[in-house]
């Protein structure tokens, strides 16, 4: 509901979940599972219906003004969004939809209503959770609201199956939300191995305008405290102070757009680069298409993923598929995404991060071995495998009796008024 799978990842609220929904849908369709994706219309230019490929249709639903609504404002549009979905379904044959798979808690609330109305199973993927984010909140990030926690708990209770990206996320659903372990399935996201693949680093560097002898450190993602691009800048400043001769070769690439609280202070990273004395070494690159993104990853010595929390960390696997050495925080789903083919760092101390990065760029033999292992590790993640596992989850949901109806008195209590006026 809060972001379209057709949006450019890396800015606003568009990120790994957008990629997940679109890529999984395409692979499901190729397996014979037709997919309608309902998303909120955010521009007058959005066509009501977009056929991405045979079997995958994106339907833009009018729910509130096209522009000017933050994600925090969207609970008030749940009813409008649900009504738009019901209008579409009213024109379809009876029993047209076999199952609802909702992504993120806002969509989970609407998916709960739709699944009950259509008398079909509800499968839900959280992607991120309020209680987890609040446990790992970055400095400058607001605490996730109590209303979101309540909404997530309701969806966990209502869903017939819950899909977790990693075993860690499955444990969080069980431990923090009381999910029934028998209803939780682990399905790791995939990577497009045709796009994200190894290649000649020198060719890649010429393509993105980076000197062949440079030391290129790369951050890819939305610019917000949760993703912690500041950690890479502080670590880079530390590296230059340790080894002044590095200044002539160091390039720090920041690929992404402002998101979340960073929208209110768009120049914060530029000011930090100045404070660290590396403003002349940093390149800020707006979100780009996937082919160009893969080229940047092939060009990099290190791709840093310093997030405070990630349900999976898709960018880490995409970078590894390109042969990049990934240095990532040891948190959330990143240990699963990175495995032993990268470097995991405890915490966000820039000195520790500088040590970890230095251990890669100063040791070409180790870097080459990590690059080789990265490609092997990433090869285990494909969208085809993700779709196959999702299809098995759908089969399990369809084979089991449906859970409690939204009309049951014990479930009705506490339903947000935007859904049940």
Flag whether 392 is marked binding: no
18 annotated as ligand-binding:
yes
Residue 133 annotated as lining a ligand binding site? no
Cα separation, 265 vs 268, whole angstroms: 6
13 annotated binding-site participant? yes
Q: Does 20 count as an annotated binding residue?
A: no
Determine whether the annotation assigns residue 68 to a binding site.
no
Instruction: Identify which of 98, 42, 93, 82 has the alpha carbon closest to the alpha carbon of residue 65.
Output: 42
CA torsion sign, 334 to 339 to 341 to 343?
positive
CA–CA dist 184, 174 (Å, integer): 8
* 253 marked among binding-site residues: no
Question: Is 60 labeled as ligand-binding?
Answer: no
Q: What Cα–Cα distance (Å) separates residue 154 from each residue in 135, 151, 159, 410, 416?
A: 20, 5, 9, 11, 10
C-alpha span between 201 and 325 (Å, rounded): 13
14 marked among binding-site residues: yes
Ligand-binding site membership of 201 (annotated): no
16 among the known binding-site residues?
Answer: yes
Region for 104 from its dihedrals, namely left if φ exceeds 0, alpha if ψ lies in -120 to 50, beta otherwise: left
76 is in an annotated binding site: no
148 is in an annotated binding site: yes
Q: Which residues pair with 164 in a beta bridge?
A: 186
The answer to the question of whether 289 is labelled as a binding residue is no
- The reply to whether 227 sits in an annotated binding site is yes
User: How many whole angstroms separate alpha carbon 90 and alpha carbon 348?
Assistant: 51
Q: Is 299 annotated as a binding residue?
A: no
Residue 3 assigned ligand-binding role: no
Q: Virtual CA dihedral for 174, 179, 181, 184, nearest 10 degrees?
A: -100
222 is annotated as contributing to ligand binding: yes
Residue 337 backbone dihedrals phi, psi, to 5 degrees? -65, -40
CB 129 within 8 A of CB 156: no
Pick out the residues of the known binding site for Mg(2+).
297-298, 300
Pick out the residues of the known binding site for UDP-N-acetyl-alpha-D-glucosamine.
8-9, 16, 222, 227, 310, 318
Pick out the residues of the known binding site for 1D-myo-inositol 3-phosphate.
2, 13-18, 71, 104, 128, 148
Pick out the residues of the known binding site.
2, 8-9, 13-18, 71, 104, 128, 148, 222, 227, 297-298, 300, 310, 318
């Amino acid at each position: 509901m809060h972001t379209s799978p057709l949006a450019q990842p890396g800015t606003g609220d568009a990120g790994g979940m957008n990629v997940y929904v679109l890529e999984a849908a395409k692979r499901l369709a190729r397996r014979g599972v037709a997919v309608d994706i309902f998303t909120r219309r955010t521009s007058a230019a959005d066509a009501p219906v977009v056929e991405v490929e045979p079997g995958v249709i994106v339907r833009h639903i009018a729910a509130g003004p096209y522009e000017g609504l933050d994600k925090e404002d969207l609970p008030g549009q749940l009813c409008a969004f649900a009504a738009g979905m019901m209008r579409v379904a009213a024109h379809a044959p009876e029993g047209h939809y076999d199952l609802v798979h909702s992504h993120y808690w806002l969509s989970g609330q609407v998916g709960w209503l739709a699944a009950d109305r259509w008398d079909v199973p509800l499968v839900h993927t959280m992607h991120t959770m309020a209680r987890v984010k609040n446990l790992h909140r970055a400095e400058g990030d607001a605490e996730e609201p109590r209303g979101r926690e309540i909404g997530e708990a309701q969806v966990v209770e209502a869903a017939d199956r819950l899909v977790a990206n990693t075993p860690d996320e499955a444990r969080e659903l069980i431990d923090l939300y009381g999910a029934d372990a028998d209803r939780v399935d682990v399905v790791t996201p995939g990577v497009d191995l045709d796009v994200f693949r190894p290649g000649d680093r020198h060719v890649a560097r010429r393509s993105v305008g980076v000197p062949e002898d440079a030391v290129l450190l790369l951050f890819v993602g939305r610019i917000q405290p949760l993703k912690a691009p500041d950690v890479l800048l502080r670590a880079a400043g530390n590296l230059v102070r340790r080894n002044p001769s590095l200044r002539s070769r160091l390039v720090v690439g920041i690929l992404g757009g402002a998101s979340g609280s960073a929208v209110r202070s768009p120049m914060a990273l530029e000011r930090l680069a100045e404070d660290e004395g590396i403003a002349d070494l940093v390149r800020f690159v707006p979100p780009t298409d996937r082919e160009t993104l893969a080229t940047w990853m092939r060009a990099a010595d290190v791709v840093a993923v310093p997030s405070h929390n990630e349900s999976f960390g898709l960018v880490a696997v995409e970078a590894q598929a390109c042969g990049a050495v990934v240095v990532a925080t040891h948190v959330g789903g990143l240990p699963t995404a990175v495995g032993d083919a990268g470097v995991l760092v405890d915490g966000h101390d820039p000195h520790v991060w500088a040590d970890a990065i230095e251990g890669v760029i100063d040791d070409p033999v180790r870097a080459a071995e990590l690059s080789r292992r990265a490609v092997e590790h990433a090869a285990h993640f494909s969208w085809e495998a993700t779709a196959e596992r999702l299809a098995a989850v759908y089969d399990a949901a369809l084979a089991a009796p449906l859970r409690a109806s939204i009309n049951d008195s014990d479930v009705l209590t506490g339903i947000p008024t935007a859904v049940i006026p």
